[in-house]
Structure 1
Amino acid sequence: MSESIRLYLDEDAQRTALVRALRARQFDVLTANEAGQVGVTDAEQLSYAAWQRHTIFTFNRGDFIQLHTKYMQQNQSHAGIIVSDQLEIGVITRRLLRLLDNRSGEDMQNWLEFLSNWR
Structure 2
Amino acid sequence: MARLYADEQFPFPVVEFLRLLGHDVLTVQAAGKAGQKIPDPEVLAFATEENRAVITLNKSDFIKLHKTCSHHAGIIVCSDDRNWEALANRIDRAINLKEVLVDTLIRVNRQ
Query: If the length of structure 2 is used for normalisation, what is the TM-score?
Result: 0.86
Q: Is the 8 A contact 2:17 2:88 kept in 1?
A: yes
Structure 2: distance between partners of 1:111 and 1:97: 15
Structure 1 window deviating more from structure 2 (21-30 vs 53-62): it is: 21-30
Q: How many residues are paired up?
A: 108
| Structure 1 match to 2:80 | 86
| Structure 1 match to 2:51 | 53
Letter matched to residue 45 of structure 2: S
| Structure 2 match to 1:115 | 108
What do you get for the CA RMSD once the two structures are aligned?
Answer: 1.7
| Equivalent residue runs for 1:1-119 within 5 Å | 4-13=1-10, 15-38=11-34, 39-71=37-69, 76-88=70-82, 89-104=84-99, 107-116=100-109
**Which ranges of 4 or more aligned residues in structure 1 deviate by more than 6 Å?**
none
Distance 1:6 1:81, change over 3 A: same
Query: If the length of structure 1 is used for normalisation, what is the TM-score?
Result: 0.81
Percent identity of paired positions between Structure 1 and Structure 2 = 31
Q: Is the 8 A contact 1:5 1:103 kept in 2?
A: no
Structure 1: distance between partners of 2:3 and 2:17: 14
Letter matched to residue 80 of structure 2: Q
Q: Is the 8 A contact 1:5 1:28 kept in 2?
A: yes
Structure 1 window deviating more from structure 2 (94-103 vs 36-45): it is: 94-103
In structure 2, stretches of 5+ residues that fail to align are none
Could you tell me how far 1:34 is from its partner in structure 2? 0.7
